[in-house]
């Protein structure tokens, strides 16, 4: 039975509404510091049902600007810390005692403007997915959610990236053999917010505001069934705002920072290639000189010198890992998609009022 359950393809992540509220509250209270926590639930025929969540203990760091980065770094690495692993196991043990789903199914983290693709995120998800393949990482974007629409996404590491990360080799040669690119790092899983039957019944029974001052009373049950309660229309003039979204400007700034980081990593790799070419040229010169010396020694009937001493005399530079560059490229793609989503609404507004903007 366990083998059959393991072979079922991963379909989606079903998150209970109460879990969503817990995650949103924790991430909003910790903003701008990164918030992390554990997810519990169970896998049901490829649908990962997340039924509960609890935060990891906060790190006691002085609340100053100089320690803000330290607090964020420690919070981002919290899911794989030994103390938090013991805390998570203890919490799951207590959940079993009260007959609650007590299977760890992943972790959650907060993000700002989609800035979550980092080495800490990869290491945390690898830590969970290595022991249990049916785990996800929920990412709650606090900045995007502040606009009124919930931003909750689920990610998993691809099997190809899991194999490459296990080997720990992210050289140019290994990436060419495995054909692994930045697009193959993360796999996004559809997120479904689920309400219990009791909550759904309560929402359907909530009274609505009357459309008129005088509400005619129904004369029979047939009148109620023929004329169900209708939600009142709530007009909003926010959609007519022509100002450029401030989140678009912030996303563009973050996009430029990611592009600069990508070019810095690219320059480091080009420096390595120049160093490697220089050392290989020196080795070639040394081998040519040694072959000429050995030819002269053989002609003089002397024992030739060893030709593999270059391995002791010369040291080839070690190729830097390309993982950081891949993560930067994946983050650039994330920002580009966000910019595309922001500009779609603004461009349509600009075309709508184009006649008033152009001079006559």
What's the pLDDT at 3?
Answer: 46
What's the pLDDT at 224?
Answer: 64
38: left (phi over 0), alpha (psi -120 to 50) or beta: beta
Per-residue pLDDT tens digits for 48-88:
888 888 888 875 544 444 444 555 666 666 677 777 788 88
User: How many C-beta neighbours within 10 Å does residue 312 have?
Assistant: 8
What's the pLDDT at 65?
Answer: 45
What's the pLDDT at 318?
Answer: 78
| CB-based contacts of 116, cutoff 8 Å, min separation 6 | 109, 139, 141, 334
What's the pLDDT at 68?
Answer: 47
Model pTM above 0.95: no
Per-residue pLDDT tens digits for 79-110:
777 777 888 888 888 888 887 777 888 888 88
What's the pLDDT at 183?
Answer: 81
Residues of the chain with confidence (pLDDT) below 70: 1-9, 59-78, 148, 207-213, 215-216, 223-245, 345, 352-360
What's the pLDDT at 357?
Answer: 58
Count how many residues are written for the chain. Answer: 360
Map the chain to HEC letters: CHHHHHHCCCCEEEEEHHHHHHHHHHHHHHCCCCCEEEEEEEEECCEEEEEEEEECCCCCCCCCHHHHHHHHHHHHCHHHCHHHHHHHHHHHHHHHHCCCCCEEEEEEEEECCCCCCCHHHHHHHHHHHHHCCCCEEEEEEHHHHCCCCCCEEEEEECHHHHHHHHHCCCCHHHHHHHCCCHHHCEEEECEEEECCHHHHHHHHCCCCCCCCCCCCCCCCHHHHHHCCCCCCCCCCCHHHCCCCCHHHHHHHHHHHHHHHHHHHHHHHHHHHHHHHHHHHHHHHHHHHHHHHHHHHHHHCCCCCCCCCCHHHHCCCCCCCCCHHHHHHHHHHHHHHHHHHHHHHHHHHHHHHCHHHHCCC
């Amino acid at each position: 039975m366990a083998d059959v359950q393991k072979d079922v393809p991963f379909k989606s992540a079903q998150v209970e509404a109460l879990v969503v509220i817990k995650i949103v509250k924790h991430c909003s209270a910790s903003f701008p510091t990164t918030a992390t926590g554990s997810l519990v639930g169970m896998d049901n025929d490829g649908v990962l049902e997340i039924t509960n969540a609890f935060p990891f203990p906060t790190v006691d760091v002085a609340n100053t600007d100089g320690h803000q980065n330290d607090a964020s770094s420690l919070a981002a690495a919290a899911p794989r810390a030994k103390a938090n692993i013991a805390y998570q196991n203890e919490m799951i043990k207590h959940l079993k005692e009260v007959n609650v789903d007590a299977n760890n199914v992943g972790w959650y983290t907060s993000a700002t403007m989609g800035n979550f693709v980092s080495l800490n995120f990869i290491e945390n998800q690898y830590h969970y997915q290595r022991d249990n393949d049916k785990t996800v990482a929920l990412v709650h974007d606090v900045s995007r959610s502040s606009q009124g629409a919930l931003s909750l996404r689920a990610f998993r590491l691809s099997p190809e990236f899991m194999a490459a990360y296990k080997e720990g080799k992210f050289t140019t040669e290994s990436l060419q053999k495995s054909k692994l690119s930045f697009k193959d790092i993360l796999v996004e899983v559809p997120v479904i917010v689920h309400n219990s039957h009791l909550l759904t019944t309560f929402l359907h029974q909530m009274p609505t505001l009357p459309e008129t001052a005088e509400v005619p009373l129904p004369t029979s049950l047939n009148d109620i069934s023929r004329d169900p309660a209708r939600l009142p229309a709530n007009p909003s003039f926010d959609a007519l705002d022509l100002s450029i979204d401030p989140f678009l400007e912030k996303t563009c700034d973050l996009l430029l920072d990611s592009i600069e980081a990508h070019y810095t990593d690219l320059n480091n790799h080009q420096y390595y290639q120049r160093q490697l070419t220089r050392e290989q040229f020196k080795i070639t010169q040394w081998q040519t000189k040694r072959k000429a010396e050995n030819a002269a020694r053989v002609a003089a009937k002397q024992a030739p010198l060893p030709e593999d001493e270059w391995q002791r005399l010369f040291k080839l530079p070690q190729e830097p890992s390309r993982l950081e560059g891949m993560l930067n490229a994946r983050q650039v793609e994330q920002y580009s998609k966000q910019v595309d989503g922001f500009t779609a609404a603004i461009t349509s507004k600009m075309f709508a009022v184009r006649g008033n903007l152009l001079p006559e």
